[in-house]
Amino acid sequence: MIGKDIILGIETSCDDTTAAVLKDGYKVLSNIVVTQEELHKDFGGIVPEIASRKHIELINIVIAQALKRANVNFRDLTAVGVTNGPGLIGSLLIGLAAAKAICYSLNIPLIGVNHVLSHMYANFIENPDIKRPIVSLVASGGHTSIYLLKENDEFEILGSTLDDAAGEVLDKIARFLNIGYPGGPAIERISINRNADAYKLPRPMLKKGLNFSFSGLKTAVIYMVRKDKTLLSRKNMPDLAASFQKAVIDVLVEKTLRAALSYKVPTIALAGGVSSNSYLRSEMKRRAESHDVDAIYPSKEYCTDNAAMVACLAYYKLKKGQISNIDIDAYSQISLKT
């Protein structure tokens, strides 16, 4: 198949084994995601050792599938983009080793990609012409930050969580309420048509700066239930879940909007697993539009972990000549590495 830039993306930072092929940075020729949710759900969270072992079993199959579905061969590839951090180190290494092997044997560029930034770039798959600057909220299971992406594609972190990530508190409270894993979608499902104002919960640091703190909100729910066990009843629990979801999202929306207004940017871009939440999407749009700010978000398949977003960011890095050395390492912690 003839194309200009055909980029294979690989993403194995957590518990999804994923590979995708993008043409020219935005045409998704394939996007394969094999989730390990079933393997981890009994533990209420991800078990790193299980995740990396499963990645080893799946990685070659998933890459082969991505190429096949895209109708391309290894030899058609211009470059390989791969997440090399932040994430679970054992998981990252599997994708990184696969990417290095492909690039080394074909003598094509290897492009290491920051997982958090790639979530933000998921917005450019379906909106490649969106003008910078933008303010982007990246909210997932491991991170919650507000970024300013400038005209020159450089970025600045405007605020981050001081403790739990938004997805992490949703997962923890879903586990506490015994309603399933991953917690975000479970809470969203149980909250549909329920009274989200039934219980008064705190909105931590709502008016204070652009950092987040969610652990106090989590503790508030746990204490409330400890005091009154009837909150766990079939009648009350969905209202409690809905009230909790609303508290988390109110904070995300308020701070992201405040960032957009204070930096005078015309566009807010949501990203990360939590941004597949319908209430977050609609509230962000509604609040932003009332201030003449546009709010965009990727299709749900590009919100949760996927390799299309990795190939997308790799494309922009390739255009800027930001190619990695073949000996790049994986790193586990959030950092400003691009």
Query: Interface with ligand KG4 includes 118 (CB under 6 A)?
Result: no
C-beta closer to ligand KG4: residue 167 or 204: 167
For the bound state, the minimum distance from the C-beta of residue 142 to ligand KG4, rounded and expressed in Å, comes to 4
The token duo for 224 is 């409330």
C-beta closer to ligand KG4: residue 77 or 270: 270
For the bound state, the minimum distance from the C-beta of residue 1 to ligand KG4, rounded and expressed in Å, comes to 30
What CA dihedral angle connects 63, 67, 68 and 72, to 10 degrees?
A: -160
C-beta closer to Zn ion: residue 260 or 307: 307
Query: Interface with ligand KG4 includes 273 (CB under 6 A)?
Result: yes
Spatial CA neighbour of 170 closest among 185, 160, 190: 185
Report the residue from 31, 78, 84, 140 that binds ligand KG4 according to the rule CB under 6 A. 140
Max CA separation in the chain (angstroms): 65
Report the residue from 112, 238, 272, 298 that binds ligand KG4 according to the rule CB under 6 A. 272
Report the residue from 167, 204, 238, 298 that binds ligand KG4 according to the rule CB under 6 A. 167
From the list ligand KG4, Zn ion, none, partner contacted by residue 164 (C-beta under 5 to 8 A by kind)? none
In whole angstroms, how far apart are CA 263 and each of 126, 129, 289? 24, 21, 16
Query: Interface with ligand KG4 includes 305 (CB under 6 A)?
Result: yes
* Cβ atoms of 85 and 337 closer than 8 Å: yes
Per CB under 5 A, residues contacting Zn ion are 140, 305
Span 174-213, contacts to ligand KG4 by CB under 6 A: 182-185, 188
* Cβ atoms of 75 and 2 closer than 8 Å: no
The token duo for 291 is 């201030």
For the bound state, the minimum distance from the C-beta of residue 283 to ligand KG4, rounded and expressed in Å, comes to 12
For the bound state, the minimum distance from the C-beta of residue 9 to ligand KG4, rounded and expressed in Å, comes to 15
**Cα–Cα distance between 328 and 333 in angstroms, integer?**
15
* Cβ atoms of 52 and 88 closer than 8 Å: yes
Order across the sheet with 134-139: list the strands. 155-160, 144-149, 134-139, 267-271, 294-296
Query: Which residue's CB atom is positioned nearest to ligand KG4?
Result: 184
Hey, CA dihedral for 114, 314, 83, 308, is it positive or negative? Answer: positive
Using CB under 6 A as the criterion, which residues of the chain lie in contact with ligand KG4 when the complex forms? 14, 140-142, 167, 170-171, 182-185, 188, 272-274, 276-277, 304-305
